[in-house]
Each structure stands twice: as C-alpha cells, then as structure tokens.
Amino acid sequence: MAVFYQQSNRIFTLQTNHSTYQMKVDDMGFLLHLYYGSKVSGDMDYLLTYYDRGFSGNPSDAAGDRTYSMDVLPQEYPVLGTGDYRSSALIIRSADGSECCDLRYVSHEIKKGKYGLKGLPAVYAGENEADTLEILMKDSVSGLLVKLLYGVLEAEDIITRSAEIVNQGGGEVIVEKAASACLDFITGNYDMISFCGRHTMERIPQREAVAHGNHVIGSRRGTSSHQYNPAVILAETDTTEDAGKCYGMVFVYSGNFMCEAEKDQFDQTRVVMGLQSDLFHYPLAKGESFLVPETILCFSNQGFGELSRKYHRCIREHICRGRYMQEKRPVLINSWEAAYFDFNGETIAGLAKEAAELGIDMVVMDDGWFGKREDDNSGLGDWQVNEKKLGCTLKELTERVRKTGLSFGIWMEPEMVSKDSNLFREHPDWALQNPGRKPVMGRNQLVLDFSRQEVRDHVFDQICRVLDEGNIRYVKWDMNRSLSDFYSVNGGSGKVAYDYVLGVYDFMEKLLQKYPDILIEGCSGGGGRFDAGMLYYTPQIWCSDNTDALDRLQIQYGTSFFYPISTVGSHVSAVPNHQTGRNISLNTRAVVAMAGTFGYELDPAKLKGEEKEEIKEQVKRYRKYAGLINEGDYYRLTDPLKGLCAAWMFMDGKKEKILLNVVMLESHGNMPVSYVRLKGLEADAVYEDADSKKRYFGSALMEAGLPMPVELKEYPAYQIELNKI
C-alpha cells in the first residue's frame, strides 16, 4: 500500500519509491496540503504557521481566530469564495447566482488499483501496481460534492490527480472553472518551464522565474495546440538537467487547458493545472456530474533528465495501450512529401515497390484519396475512395501493395468538413458555427460538431467502410485547424469545447475496439495535439510538419521532456527540405529520425543508386537498435538550442548497451573539438566502441567524454554503439 491515513491527526500520506506527498484534514474540515518532494518521514503539519495577516480574511467558523486564513494556508483544492484570493482550482455558480463554494471533508476511501475516468483517457495500472485514494468533500449550502481522486504508482514515482464534481443540490449549477491539480509550495523560489511554439516549430522549452503576478499558459483552440503544450515543469531555480528538484505536471487531455503559476504575497508558490476557464460554463442539472481530466504529477531530485525518464516509463507503459505498446512499429514510407495531392494508384504502388527494395515495412497513402480532393480546398467529409483518381478500387490497390511485401496505411481527417463537399451540402448544420454568424475558416475547412452522436456515427460508418474494404494496418488521424466557433445545438457555448474532445475520445475508443490491430498515428498539422490524452488512443503522434533535421533536433528535444521516443513520429525527407530549404546529409537526417518511430517521407524513385544503398543500410541499422531506442532509457547529453552539438543517448536497463548520437550544429574555420560526456553509465565498468574496438571506463566517458571528429562538412552526425565488456 502506498496510501496511508492516520486517524489521530487526519493526515494522508502518499508514498512512492522516491517521493512523499502529504495532506491533512484540519479541525474545520479544510483539506490542507502539507508537503510534496523527496521522501520524508513523519508528520509535516509542523510546517503550517498561523499569523494575523491584514486583508486576508478568516472563515466565520474560525471563531474569531484572525490567524486562520484560506488566503495564506496551502490547500489541496482551492475554491473561489472562501477568502483565498489566489488562483482557484474550482469556480461554481450556484442556482441562486452566487459564486461561492466551501468544500469540507466528508469521508475517504483507500482502494487497491488505479481509478479510471469514464470517457476520458487516464493512467492505467494493474491491481498491484497502484493504489487509489478518494476524498469526498462537500459544500453544505449548495449540496455540491467533489470527489478528489489520487492514484499512486509507487514504483514509477507517479501520482495522478483528478476530480469528480457532483451536483447533489436543488437546482442547476454551472462549473465555471475546473482544475485537476493544485500544488502549493509554502517556501522556495521556482522557475516554470513551458513548451511553446507554432505550427512547424513546436515545444521549444521556455524557462521563466515564477514571480508575483499570475503566469498563465494554455489553449483556447479546442486542441492542446502547437503554441503551448499541456505539460509544465516547476523547478527550483538552480535545478539543471542532472541535479536539483523539479516537479512535472502533465495534463491528460487534448483540448482547451490552462496552467497558472503564481507567487503570492508571502512568496508562496501555487501552480494550478486544469481546463481552460474561457469558453467554459458547464451546467450540471441535479444529479449530474462532471469529470475533470487527469494531471500526472512526478517529482525528481535529480534534475530534468530523471524526471523525463520517469514520465517516459509512465506514458509508455501506463498511457499507451494495445498491441503496439510493446510491438515494434513498422518502418513506413508516407506519400505526403513524396507526391502531395498529385498521385494515383500507380504512384502509391510504385512507392511501395521502391520501398520494398529498401526494406521498408509499410506504405501510407496520405491526403487526397477520397471525394473530390485535388488540393486542400474541398472533399473533407466525403470518405469515399476516389476510384477515378486512383484508377482502381482500394481493395485492388492494397492487394497490389501487399504483393510487394508491404502493408498499407491510410490518412484521414474525421473531425473536418470542407464547404465544398457532399457532406456539408447535405448537413450544413453539422459544422460548428455561432448562430446567425459566418464561421471562421481554417485551411478553408470547418470543424464537425463531434459533441453530437449522430455526426460521429455518420463519419464512423463511412470510415469503417473504407477500413473494411482495404486490408488497412495503419491510420494517420489528422486534424488540421483550430476550433473557433464554440457553439453547439447540443448545449450552446459553455459545454462544446469539453464535449467535443470527449466526442473525439469516444470515436477513437470505438475505432480501437473494432480494429484492435490497426496502428493509429495521431497528427494535427504535425504536433498540434501532441499530448498524453491522445497517446491513450494513438501510441505515436506525427511530431511536427517540419521534417528539417536541424529544426527537428530542437522540436524533438522539447518533446522529449515528457513524451517517450516510441511516441515521436519522425521521418527522413528529401532535400532541399520543403519547410526550410536546408540541405542536410542523408546520414544526419536518418540519425535524427531514429530518435523517433523512423520512416521516410520522400520519393525513392528520385534518389541516386548510392542513396538507395545508404537507405537500405539505415533501415537495417534502425531495426538493429529499435528495441534500445523504444524501450531503453533516454539521456539528453546537450541542449541543442545552445552549444556546438546536439547529443543524446539510449541505454538498456542493465547499462550494458549504449547508442550515442551526435549532430554537429556549427562549422567554422579552425573548429575547436567538441567533447561529448555520457551519462548514467556504471563508473567502474569498461565499455567498448563496437566499431573502433577502443575501450573506455564508464567514469572516463562520463567525466571527460569522447572527442568528436572535426570535419569540413555541415551538420555531420555520428552514431556510436558502446557495449559493456
């Protein structure tokens, strides 16, 4: 058991292998946060201090005790209306119009196993791998109940949090704001690291001091977004990659979110992670309840590297599901950058034939195979194969591909509709739009109201017909615009952002149940919905529409802080690169793509003989290391946004096999030598370079590093295999 309750002082303690989380129900029934950090023993309620603070009010039942204030005390689930002026986790508008909710402890339950969340993705675990704590809180005036959920994965150092809000009172209440986790720190100075960006340049780390004033990141785009990833790190100011204390908060959700970090008047820090409060007013009729998506918490006292490895394990083994959770992913070739919309059945069969000679496993027919779709202005929603364009049926095409020895995958964008489509002409009211207003266009397409069952059912049936016709092993599920018209006939404007995401999840769950053997790769203009919620349904996500190896080093670096390498969709594309115009060698492009699912996004028919030979060798190399790359421990050795080189390594659990990867970022006259230091090795063990047969002590590789060659080239890359002897 990892959850302990001490009746005498009503203290709850959650213990993981290397961390402790503690909270307490105090005499008035408030649930106060006591501690989260490195493992400690004993009761931490001695940390609470009480002073009379001006302009920080006191609950009326404090019986005149002016030293007791919710504005100062650390809390588990702060609610607006109790005299706490900091960010709250919950705002409720009661039936009488008041915005006040005063949650007090009612009861709790400790259970074996990890709680699940109906209709929402969540961390899962076996009965013996996790424990659950449920704490029931109640507002006695409105009758509102809040069940706080804690999941503890002791061996993984993971604590999850969620909340269920139940309206047990008289009339309708409106949930105006709902978060799943709040972390209050009574002492310390912190930085918040968020992962920001834009289309084709996602998840670039940004480190800022948490100061007075609310620092907020989030999304109002209906998706988790390219602009801000729903995951942050809170780090003590001196924390580095390899040392120091840091906390991760990963929101398991793919829609609008908000993360607020604030230093209060007494220099205490609060971070709240949850749903975006704009575009959200969720009505609950009597008896109805609302589930807040989960936040995964993790603590490391050994810097960001250790935190990332813990998240990698958690997401790989407790979020990703299905047969591809363990199985090797296919090396695929995708038609997008090879042909864009300009292809027919012959082109795809040709790609498959060429790819078969290179040793590739699967061909993916990207956008353009359905309806009237010669460019991105029409056809979305009409999921019928355009046999005229292909020159054959889908069955015939997949049969041709199968004969080459490759399996077949297909692109889809189920949530979208083009104005110029039969679906829109038949059901113009199925697109999200505000009453009486023309909707905002994005890529000249509209968003289907996936909060509506009949809309989902229609698309589902069409898509199943396609999947049943072809022998399809893979689906790339795309989503190519932000939502903007948040209104549904199904509940107006306050519900749709959340209900839409639950509709998408419902659709995906049904698809997975029906086709458990199909591998689904998530995508939203590349990495616009790269989040732990999606990874519950799609064990890999196209990391970015930017396939330039140099930019990818930065994008994949940022992505690696939370998301395991096995989830990172990454391909070798043609040069000059279509997004940046840069020319980077085939070897470097492959080394970078091998920090991901690995595949190709080019037309092999346009390659020279020696390039094809090189690709054959790359595919073999990837297969040799796929296990190590996908299941091994990942170490960031440098920060590619600084320094002369980008370096990272994969190491097996026994610390016996290492694959070191280095890309030189700069080339100048008379270049200094770069030394790359390895991490995590056994200091006293001897490691041998598989090529040169040179031997080094682990301590030498970690303390002094390996010198990298100086070559008269731009961006050369090196992969070095080291084995313990």
Provide the binding-site residues for ligand GLA, judged by CB under 6 A.
Answer: 336, 366-367, 376, 411, 478, 480, 523, 525-526, 542, 545
Minimum CB separation of residue 471 from ligand GLA in Å reads 21
Give 169 or 526: the residue with its C-beta nearer to ligand GLA: 526
Residues 6+ apart with CB under 8 A from 131: 1, 2, 3, 110, 111, 112, 113, 114, 151, 152, 154
d(CA 321, CA 379): 32
Q: Regarding beta strands 519-522 and 472-477, do their DSSP bridges make them parallel or antiparallel, or are they unpaired? A: parallel
- Is residue 667 within 8 A of residue 714, CB to CB? The reply is yes
Minimum CB separation of residue 201 from ligand GLA in Å reads 13
Is 267 annotated as catalytic?
A: no
Minimum CB separation of residue 611 from ligand GLA in Å reads 22
Minimum CB separation of residue 517 from ligand GLA in Å reads 22
Residue with tokens 């785009």: 221
**What would you measure as the largest C-alpha separation in the chain, in angstroms?**
86
Give 563 or 650: the residue with its C-beta nearer to ligand GLA: 563
Angle 575-443-227 from CA coordinates, rounded to 5°: 75
Residues 6+ apart with CB under 8 A from 590: 572, 615, 618, 621, 622
d(CA 680, CA 153): 24
- Is residue 12 within 8 A of residue 26, CB to CB? The reply is no
Minimum CB separation of residue 475 from ligand GLA in Å reads 12
Give 10 or 481: the residue with its C-beta nearer to ligand GLA: 481
Minimum CB separation of residue 373 from ligand GLA in Å reads 9
Residues 6+ apart with CB under 8 A from 431: 417, 424, 439, 446, 447, 448, 449
Minimum CB separation of residue 548 from ligand GLA in Å reads 14
d(CA 476, CA 426): 26
Residues 6+ apart with CB under 8 A from 493: 279, 281, 434, 486, 487
> Quick one: three-class SS letters along 112-157?
ECCCCCCCCCCCCCCCCCCEEEEEEEEECCCCCEEEEEEEEEHHHC
Minimum CB separation of residue 547 from ligand GLA in Å reads 9
Give 274 or 558: the residue with its C-beta nearer to ligand GLA: 558
Fill in the amino acid letter for 512: L
Minimum CB separation of residue 449 from ligand GLA in Å reads 21
- Is residue 166 within 8 A of residue 286, CB to CB? The reply is no
Minimum CB separation of residue 412 from ligand GLA in Å reads 10
d(CA 607, CA 613): 10
Minimum CB separation of residue 527 from ligand GLA in Å reads 8
Q: Is 582 exposed, middle or buried (0-12, 13-18, 19+ CB in 10 A)?
A: middle
Give 263 or 571: the residue with its C-beta nearer to ligand GLA: 571
Give 84 or 337: the residue with its C-beta nearer to ligand GLA: 337
Give 57 or 442: the residue with its C-beta nearer to ligand GLA: 442
The residue sitting closest to ligand GLA, measured at its beta carbon, is 367
d(CA 325, CA 671): 43
Give 80 or 519: the residue with its C-beta nearer to ligand GLA: 519
Give 229 or 480: the residue with its C-beta nearer to ligand GLA: 480
Token pair listed for 407? 């399996």
Query: For the chain, percent helix, then strand, then coil, each to nearest 5?
Result: 20, 35, 45
Which of 595, 582, 588, 594 lies closest to 548, judged by CA? Answer: 582
Is 601 annotated as catalytic?
A: no
Strand, coil or helix: 316: helix
For residue 213, count other CB atoms closer than 10 A to its CB. Answer: 9
Q: Which long-range contacts (CB under 8 A, 24 or more apart) does 65-74 make?
A: 68/28, 70/30, 72/266, 72/268, 73/30, 73/32, 73/48, 74/32, 74/33, 74/34, 74/48, 74/184, 74/185, 74/186, 74/268
Residue with tokens 């991760």: 248
Minimum CB separation of residue 467 from ligand GLA in Å reads 18
Strand, coil or helix: 108: strand
Active-site residue among 139, 317, 531, 551? 531
Give 503 or 525: the residue with its C-beta nearer to ligand GLA: 525
Give 541 or 660: the residue with its C-beta nearer to ligand GLA: 541
What residues pair up with 22 in beta bridges, in sequence order?
Answer: 13, 35
Which of 413, 483, 486 lies closest to 446, judged by CA? Answer: 483
Strand, coil or helix: 677: coil
Angle 263-269-273 from CA coordinates, rounded to 5°: 105
Active-site residue among 52, 454, 611, 691? 611
Give the helix ranges, DSSP H, for 530-600: 532-535, 549-559, 586-593
Minimum CB separation of residue 411 from ligand GLA in Å reads 5
Token pair listed for 203? 């998840």
Strand, coil or helix: 465: helix
Give 121 or 409: the residue with its C-beta nearer to ligand GLA: 409
Q: Regarding beta strands 416-418 and 445-447, do their DSSP bridges make them parallel or antiparallel, or are they unpaired? A: antiparallel
Which of 381, 371, 359, 368 lies closest to 339, judged by CA? Answer: 368
Give 349 or 523: the residue with its C-beta nearer to ligand GLA: 523
What residues pair up with 137 in beta bridges, in sequence order?
Answer: 105, 146
Fill in the amino acid letter for 673: V
User: What is the Cα Rg of the chain in Å?
Assistant: 27
Give the helix ranges, DSSP H, for 560-667: 586-593, 609-631
Q: Write out the H or E segment, with its range, that includes residue 474.
A: strand 472-477
Q: Which residues are catalytic?
A: 531, 611
